[in-house]
Amino acid sequence: MTGAPSVYLECGARGSYGLLTIDPPHDTLLGRFQQAALSSGIDFQLRPDGLEMPWVGLLSLLREFGPQQRSLGFQFRPKGDEARDRIALFMRQYKQVQAAQGDLTLTLSEDDVDRRLAEEGFTLHALKSFQRRDLARLLSLSNGANFSVPGAGKTAVTLAMHLLTRRPGQHILIICPKAAFPAWRTVVKDFVAPDAPNGNAEEFTILSGTGEDVTKALSSGKTRSRHQLRPDHQHAGCDRPLSSNEARPFGFR
């Protein structure tokens, strides 16, 4: 692509933010990136030389527009060693996810679901027939969503799906509004026996505090910890306090 505009991705002064610049300037291309960011709900600031946005937003644009570089006549380029290393890591992880698509699908009858859950220690309460139906359907899909009405037991179905599909070393991260916290605080005790195998009785660790606090919690090796949620705290990748009504990570296992 000789002579094609170069779209540079650079890590900003704030570690969680980055810069997108185009050389030579290209208003049409910049407009495409702006529209994509708006459509995806990415918070950005327009600068004379490009866009500033959270680093995860830049990676989202890279994922969306990477396959279109030739057709749109431009080329992504990292600017600086840190940006190059971050992009290389992202691309490796993205390719791994793409290669693994479909690997977690299972075809199980409702009776098979009951048997497999019992083996995992999910024995204190049985799923209802419609929950087993939904779970069996979700297990058969590479990607899926459960849009059942409030109170239908989506929390229990999600935990059951995690127990049936997780691999050694994998975690589940729950991001939800505060109204859903009580259900996630009790779902393990409500459904999983204390002597369940494979650590399945492990409760959720609540992620709270500053980005540094969350990073320490994720890397501490603790299996059962709980942190007080405070709305005046900041969370990883967020440079302003979160309001008490905003969705945030609940916890992980």
- If asked whether residues 161 and 245 sit together in one domain, one would say yes
Q: Is residue 218 part of a domain?
A: yes
159 and 238 part of one domain = yes
d(CA 88, CA 62): 12
Whole-angstrom CA distances from 41 to 44, 159, 200 are: 9, 28, 36
75 and 140 within one domain: no
- Contacts for 129 with CB less than 8 Å, ≥ 6 apart: 110
Per the CB < 8 A criterion, the answer to whether 234 and 210 are in contact is yes
Given 82, 100, 118, the domain boundary residue is 100
Q: Which domain holds residue 56?
A: 6-100
Q: Please tell me the distance from the alpha carbon of residue 213 to that of residue 216, in angstroms, as a whole number.
A: 5
CATH number at residue 85: 3.30.70
Statement to judge: residues 126 and 242 lie in one domain: yes
- Residue that is last in its domain, among 100, 127, 160: 100
Q: Which of 51, 80, 100 is the last residue of a domain?
A: 100
> What is the count of structural domains for the chain?
2
Per-residue confidence in pLDDT tens, the chain, 253 aa: 557 899 999 998 777 899 999 999 999 999 999 999 999 899 999 988 899 999 999 999 999 999 999 999 999 999 999 999 999 999 988 887 777 665 556 677 778 888 999 999 999 999 998 999 899 888 887 778 888 888 899 999 999 999 998 887 777 888 888 888 888 889 999 999 999 998 899 888 888 777 777 777 777 665 433 333 444 333 333 333 333 334 444 455 5
